[in-house]
Amino acid sequence: MICLILSLFSYFFQTGWTGENERTFVAVKPDGVQRRLVGEILRRFEKRGFKLVGLKLVKASEDLLREHYWDLRSKPFFRGLMSYMSSGPIVVMVWEGLDVVKTARKMLGETNPADSLPGTIRGDFCVEVGRNVIHGSDSVASAQKEISLWFGQDELHCWEDNSRGWIYD
Ligand code: ADP
Q: Is 119 in the pocket of ligand 1 (CB under 6 A)?
A: no
- 73 within domain boundaries: yes
d(CA 22, CA 117): 25
Q: What pLDDT, on a 0 to 100 scale, did the predictor assign at position 11?
A: 55
Distance 151 CA to ligand 1 centre (A): 22
- 32 within domain boundaries: yes
Distance 63 CA to ligand 1 centre (A): 18
57's CB contacts (< 8 A; 6+ apart) are 33, 89, 90, 91
- 13 within domain boundaries: no
Give the tens place of pLDDT for each residue, 39-48: 999 999 999 9
In this prediction the ipTM stands at 0.98
Give the tens place of pLDDT for each residue, 63-82: 999 999 999 999 999 999 99
Range of the domain at 63: 18-153
DSSP lists the bridge partners of residue 91 as 28, 57
- In the chain, the number of structural domains is 1
- 2 within domain boundaries: no
Give the tens place of pLDDT for each residue, 98-156: 999 999 999 999 999 999 999 999 999 999 999 999 999 999 999 999 999 999 999 99
- The one catalytic residue in 24, 91, 135, 136 is 135
d(CA 33, CA 45): 16
d(CA 96, CA 23): 4
Is residue 135 annotated as part of the catalytic site, yes or no?
yes
- 4 within domain boundaries: no
> Residue 147 belongs to a domain with what CATH number?
3.30.70.141
